[in-house]
Amino acid sequence: MTSSAYTVFIVDDDPAVRDALGLLLGLQGHPVVMFADAESFLSAFRPQWRGCLLVDIRMPGMDGLALQKRLLEMESTLPVIVMTGHGNVDCAREAFRAQAVDFLEKPVDHGRLLAAINEAFARQKAAQTRTGQREQLDRLLATLTPREREVMVEVVKGRHNREIADLLGISARTVEVHKARMMTKLGVDGVPALVRLSLLGQDKSAE
């Protein structure tokens, strides 16, 4: 994975920490954007940003954990790495509950920081892939007729053509026709592939 496609966003009220981290990450080839507080980060934030957020816990105004939770509420996919000079178990637990990639104590271990950033980028890439798959699924499902959708639901449940025909009040032959058309439109070559596709849609609904 090339780092240039992903940016590290640093939010820390200490300019010395921002400068040191910016230098370290810049030397590793990571684009860096820095903010002095959570409020300025939120004002600039765009959902299409790709990379990760490196945030301090204790800052004037909104603290790092509050920022992390706010991003979750906004359904941001930007992974978060939390830093603190005053770490404790409660803070760490709260950060991980809000899906933090890692919880780093200052002075930050450079090796652990870089490993956490790589993991964060991998999470971001995985999230982008899932989003792309779901958007493709939505486009495919939109091509189905209402009857084809009904047949799809029953096929995924494991019902045979005769059972589906009885449920829908149509002939088994008609079920077979709808089933064939539905699979062609979705680009699947059998029931196992159809089930995998339907599970992707269920994952989307559960989020």
Task: State the CATH architecture for 3-129.
Answer: 3-Layer(aba) Sandwich (3.40)
pLDDT at residue 63, rounded to an integer:
92
CA distance 12 to 120: 18
Contact predicate 35/62, CB 8 Å: no
Sign of the four-CA dihedral 158, 162, 166, 170? positive
The bridge status of strand 102-105 relative to strand 32-35 is unpaired
Contact predicate 86/39, CB 8 Å: no
pLDDT block averages, 10 residues each, the chain of length 207:
74 95 94 96 94 94 93 91 81 83 91 94 85 84 94 93 95 95 92 84 52
Domain topology for 143-206: Arc Repressor Mutant, subunit A (1.10.10)
Domain borders along the chain are 3-129, 143-206
pLDDT at residue 206, rounded to an integer:
44
pLDDT at residue 201, rounded to an integer:
65
pLDDT at residue 3, rounded to an integer:
45
Contact predicate 54/71, CB 8 Å: no
Give me the helix-helix angle, 172-186 and 110-141, nearest 10°: 140
